[in-house]
A and B are shown apart, each in its own frame.
Chain A
Amino acid sequence: MPTLLEVSGLIAGYGETRVLHGIDFAVEAGGVTALLGANGAGKTTTLRAISGLARRQGSILFAGEEISTLATEEIARRGIGHVPDGRGTFLELSVEENLRLGAITRSDREVGADIARMFGYFPRLRERIRQQAGTLSGGEQQMLAIARALLLRPKLLVLDEPSFGLAPLIVAELFDILARINREERMSILVVEQNASLALALADHAYLLETGAIIMSGLARELRENAAIRRSYLGY
């Protein structure tokens, strides 16, 4: 499969603090890549660097184009749908407005149809369409955030800890839907997770991040069998 995103020698941080010390990884078109690591490893910073929300240096090639010097909004317009840490809901706006914002840069006439297709994945959003988004539960807000990012019609969906703060049943449902989205929409996904077993079940490739450096990478099913990973991250 061709490479959609290729990150090399990425150094990133905030102000004077350096969080990432030159990391390399890639996301294949049509695949699901997981970035694993403990709390504070630099996973969110990696995603923020890709979207231009953290100070960064090094090369980020997306669909063949260098995006490491572009502004966040231009990177989004190139086709990266980023569901940020904390979900980034427009709390004061309605569910419908949140969805319309996902498609705000589009001028085609298929937005309505795309929103309807999102209701296929997330039926609960349809019931809550007029509600203020801040009143949704955490799981519903996560679904709204994913639908919002998909409405951009991105080439790559980027997810920052989609399981965070959600009940196990909701998380299982959410990851099933993500697998469907990957299959049915042929959507390439880069997912960051602390919950390694979940992420390794969804992903086909994975990287392990520790204090700003990648210490292991490979096929997800091989990493699942790896003794060190099992001990430190899977807990069995």
Chain B
Amino acid sequence: MQALWHQIFSGIATGGIYASVALALVMIYQATHHVNFAQGEMATFSTYIALALIEAGFPYWLAFLATIIVSFAIGVIIERVLMRPMAEAPVLASVGVFIGLLLIFNSVTGWIFSYSVKAFPSPFPETSQFLGGWASPHEVGATLVTLVVLVLVYGFFRFTKLGLAMRAAAYNPVSSRLVGIRVGWMLALGWGLAAAIGAIAGMMVAPIVFLDPSMMSGILLYAFAGALLGGIDNPLGAVIGGFAVGVIENLAGAYVVGPELKLTLALVIIIAVLIFKPAGIFGRVIVSRV
């Protein structure tokens, strides 16, 4: 029984990581109707920045904060410089840009920081008497960090003027411009936020999986499965989907398919959702009368 709980709890912990990345994917999807395949590689790059700062002597949480800010800026710059000229381009051209971005981030990361696998520190203690055996302090800490991020993001979109403007720009760019919203900047901000959320996910997962330039590629697949499961146009659904995929993955890895075949599970989920419930479990049905 203890083993089962342990599996479920680590599932929630990694699910939180998937949920964050899924949220980042959904944010960009809502605004542009494209899935940013480079989201994972961008997060990995950010995690390397954090490691460089920590190795340069920054205290962990200062490095954490600085990484978030730098990642946000990188996201904004990518949208302004690379994506903006592509706004009117056909879908395949945009997909090409995303894949190019993925390859560029992967090589630049390897080139600057080397391809060797590195350990990444956790800000949380090694062991704790409180938790007994069924969860590690890092798992609990990472889950809490994820939840705080999700609550902050939710509050930002739900309760601030800027959050409202960003949602409006995603739903209806023309009407948004007619009320004076600078839609181009809202997109750039969305990219910045997505990059910042991805960076947090990277820093939280790196102590578990170790850091290498391809660290996030498997995670991106799970996150994508989670986003599809919950509904790619529904941020809350994607978050729930991300947690669900984490738990399913862990349980299946431990009791059903074994760790080697776990990644296939993400593909199975993706295909099953696309066939049986393309809008996802929480996919929005827009009520509309004319």
Interface of A with B (CB < 8 Å)? 51, 53, 71-73, 76-77, 82, 84, 88-93, 97, 100-102, 104-105, 132, 134-138, 148-149, 152, 165
Contacts and interface: CB of A to CB of B under 8 A. Distances in A.
A66 B203 CA distance: 51
Contacts of B168: 90, 93, 97, 101, 104
B289 A135 contact: yes
Contacts of B287: 132, 134-135
B164 A76 contact: no
Nearest to A107: B161
16 contacts: A71-B177, A72-B177, A88-B178, A90-B168, A90-B171, A91-B286, A101-B176, A101-B181, A104-B161, A104-B164, A105-B180, A132-B287, A135-B289, A136-B289, A149-B178, A149-B179
Interface residues of B, number: 23
A89 B179 contact: no
Interface string B163-194: 01101100110111111111100000000000
Nearest to A100: B164
Contacts of A165: 290
Contacts of B164: 97, 100-101, 104
B84 interface: no
B284 interface: yes
Contacts of B176: 73, 101
B180 A73 contact: yes
A100 B161 CA distance: 9
Contacts of B178: 51, 72, 76, 82, 84, 88, 149
Given A82-B178, A152-B180, A104 B165 contact: yes
Nearest to B175: A88
B170 to A, nearest CB: 9
A46 B265 CA distance: 55
B2 interface: no
Given A73-B183, A104-B165, 9 more contacts: A72-B177, A76-B178, A88-B172, A88-B175, A101-B175, A104-B168, A104-B181, A135-B288, A149-B178
B179 A102 contact: yes
Given A76-B180, A77-B180, A101-B164, A89 B175 contact: yes
A48 to B, nearest CB: 10
